[in-house]
Structure 1
Amino acid sequence: MRDVIPILDSCTLTDGNHGDILVDHLKHYLAVHQNLIFPHRHTFYHFVIFTAGSGTHSIDFNKYKVTPWQIYFMSPGQVHTWNFDNKVDGYIFNFEKDFFQSFLLKPDYLEGFSFFAGADQGNVKDLPPGIRNDVEVLCNQLYTQVNINSNKNTDFQRVLLLSLLHLVEQQTAVTQLQQFQTHNMVVLRNFQKLVEENYLLKRMPKDYAEMLFITPNHLNAICKELIGAQAGEVIRERILLEAKRLLVSGEVNISQIANELNFNDNSYFTKFFKKYSGLTPEQFKRDYTK
């Protein structure tokens, strides 16, 4: 049931090119995929750099206004939709989860980037004027390597992509990057990973504190210090997010969602959803899809 929301993989989006990476000019991509406006998940990493135009896009139900030289990032599994005007342009990048698998020693290397770490609001950034030219040069080099060069060098594509990601990280999140290197941030990141893997079965902060070899009070203190929320809120927000993702699919009922999320009955699920979102499941679905 978890696959009810339409899932887009890179093979369905590359016009017959079944490679591990897509790089395209946004205007061309949108012209080819004019109907790609419904909520959907990605199985791949995805980011867009806007150079012109306006509109909105949403990532996991957080809506953002498009501005020139904004960049947004998405990790596999997140839900996305967009609504642009006809003057929007820029660059779009899709690459498979294992694109760097044989190239980098650390399997979780990409999670070291702040924009792929799941931090709140960390996946949408404004590019400073001082790096825009360098960013555009790298985008054009990547476009050429992926689409034009007849003698394609996949390792060179990886080097260019990593250069682009590191440039954006260094120039937009220096303070945040330093923060991610602290001990408490490492604990928080590990907690968030454990929640992602276990939220359907483990609902109590003490369960995660045990796995992290710390006390529940210590876990709460770390969460409060770094993200301003209790550990229990982090767990509830992940459950709530999955509920929202399932609700907008349009193909599952409340009973199925409650069962999928391991609630004892529909009533308990409805009370939980309304308490933490302010809306009943039906109201949320109606408001989001109208």
Structure 2
Amino acid sequence: MSKRNIGNLYDPRQGDQAIRMESLRLPCKPTEPPRTNYFSIYFIESGSGSFWADASKFYLHPNSLLFFVPYQHIRFAPTRSVHGELIQFHANFLCVETFHAEVGCSGILFNDPYGAPVVTLDEHARSEVLGLVERIRNEQGREELAFGEVMLAYLKVLLILATRLKTPQAAACGPGLADLRHPVLAQLRDLIEANYQTLHSPADYAKRLHVTPKTLGRIVRDHLGTTPSDLIRNRILIHAKWQLLHTLKSVKEISREVGFSDELYFSRLFKKATGYSPTFFRDFETEIRGGSNLSMLSSHAPILRSGGASDS
């Protein structure tokens, strides 16, 4: 599998680093970063405008952190040029998918289909982030003894800081709780969590919420910048990616597990969302992770943090 076939994907066989950092400069024009299998943290120091995470629209503000998951489609539309820093890391460096018990950020910073992937920084938090960014940059540049372990430590601190800022009571709160300001949204989240594997139509959820599909669509668009269909689809994909990465279930079995009798339809949906087929996604990630990802037990892949449940 050659480099030209995998575009911007991290591949240690090609000498790629599992963590990388670079200065961020976005001009006042639409920009689409290439899809990557890194987790991405954008530190926005200055600039403004809009950005899209898949089909969800959000606003760019100075002094903020943005969080994106691997293979996600990202688009920026700055109205003022954006300056900052970009930190990217692969699961080989820090597996957010399974390391949530220590870092606590999966379902809060990453993999939350119900909330904005944004953390706003006050002056004190901005100063702390700047210090951590500078330390990570220095370690990356010097490559001294155990520099990888030191970078990992600083990255964990950054993620914990961001998690605390986004959900001050993260241990008791579900993902996106602070963003669900309309009572229907919390109910919708709970309904999707309970039914995403069997109910795929927004009309089914609108009926259970005693609102019209049009009203539900307006509430979701106004408060979350997306559509009910995209909320459901993103939740399905979180589950599917977990199963592909951490179990030996066939694509056909996973397709049926999330409510699609047509494996080809599921594969097209997956490829449209990630840029790659389910088979490539599993085979490539398993190969570059040395198979360690397949040691996990099969699970329902919940994102709502409760007890000792596995996160996605």
TM-score range for the pair, normalised by the shorter chain length: 0.5 to 0.7
Q: 1:19 aligns with which of 17, 20, 27?
A: 17
Is the counterpart of residue 168 in structure 1 residue 181 in structure 2? no
Query: Which of the residues 57, 69, 89 maps onto 2:51?
Result: 57
Per the TM alignment, residue 59 of structure 1 is displaced from its structure 2 partner at its CA by 0.4
Paired AA for residue 129 in structure 2: V
- Percent identity over paired residues: 14
Q: Give how far 1:242 is off.
A: 8.6
Alignment root-mean-square deviation, CA: 4.6
Provide the residue aligned with 1:125 in structure 2.
119
Relative contact order, higher structure (CA 8 A, sep 6+):
2
| Counterpart contact for 1:114–1:122, Cα < 8 Å | no
Distance 2:267 2:21 in 1: 40
For residues 236 and 57 of structure 1, what CA distance do their matches in structure 2 show? 16
Alignment of 1:110-149 (within 5 A): 111-112=105-106, 114-149=108-143
Which residue of structure 2 aligns with residue 46 of structure 1? 40
| Range 150-159 or range 68-77, more displaced | 150-159
Q: Quick check: 1:8 aligned with 2:2?
A: no
- Given that 2:44 and 2:63 are in contact with CA atoms closer than 8 Å, whether structure 1 keeps it comes out as yes
Q: Distance in 2 between matches of 1:138 and 1:21?
A: 14
Contact 1:142 1:157 in 2 (8 A): yes
Contact 2:68/2:110 (<8 A) preserved: yes
Q: Is it true that 1:155 corresponds to 2:153 in the alignment?
A: no
The offset of 1:234, in angstroms, is 7.0
Please report how far the alpha carbon of residue 117 of structure 1 lies from its aligned counterpart in structure 2 after TM superposition. 3.6
| TM-score, structure 1 as length reference | 0.54
Q: Extract unaligned runs of 5+ from structure 1.
A: 1-5, 206-218, 221-227, 244-256, 264-290
- The verdict on how the C-alpha distance between 1:64 and 1:262 changes in structure 2, with shifts beyond 3 A counting, is closer
Normalising by structure 2, we get a TM-score of 0.51
Q: What are the residue-to-residue correspondences of 1:1-290 with 2, within 5 Å?
A: 8-10=8-10, 18-27=16-25, 37-38=31-32, 40-84=34-78, 87-100=81-94, 111-112=105-106, 114-151=108-145, 153-180=147-174, 192=193, 195=196, 199=197, 202-203=198-199, 237-239=231-233, 259-261=264-266
Superposed displacement of residue 53, structure 1: 1.8
Distance 1:21 1:84 in 2: 26
- Distance, in Å, in 2 between the alignment partners of 1:26 and 1:110 is 26
Q: SS where residue 22 of structure 1 aligns?
A: strand
CA distance in 2, matches of 1:173, 1:75: 19
1:71-94 alpha-carbon deviations (Å, 9 max, x no partner): 110112322112336742111011
Q: Which has the larger radius of gyration?
A: 1
Give how far 1:164 is off: 0.7
Instruction: Give 1:25's aligned amino acid.
Output: S
- The amino acid that maps onto 1:142 is I
Residues 119 and 165, structure 2, Cα contact 8 Å, conserved in 1: no
In 1, the alpha carbon distance for the partners of 2:166 and 2:7 equals 30
SS of aligned partner of 1:114: coil
Q: Which amino acid letter does the alignment assign opposite residue 260 of structure 1?
A: Y
Contact 1:57-1:82 within 8 A present in 2 as well: yes
Q: Comparing both structures, which one devotes a greater share of its residues to helix? A: 1
Instruction: Indicate if the aligned counterparts of 1:142 and 1:161 stay in contact, CA closer than 8 A.
Output: yes
SS at match of 1:89: strand
2:265 aligned partner, one-letter code: E
Asked if the contact 1:56–1:65 (Cα under 8 Å) also holds between the matched residues in 2, the reply is yes
Distance 1:85 1:105 in 2: 37
CA displacement at 1:110 relative to structure 2: 5.6
SS in 2 for 1:64: strand
User: Does the 8 A contact of 1:10 with 1:22 survive in 2?
Assistant: no
Alignment CA distance shift 1:167-1:241 (3 Å): closer
Alignment length, in residue pairs? 204
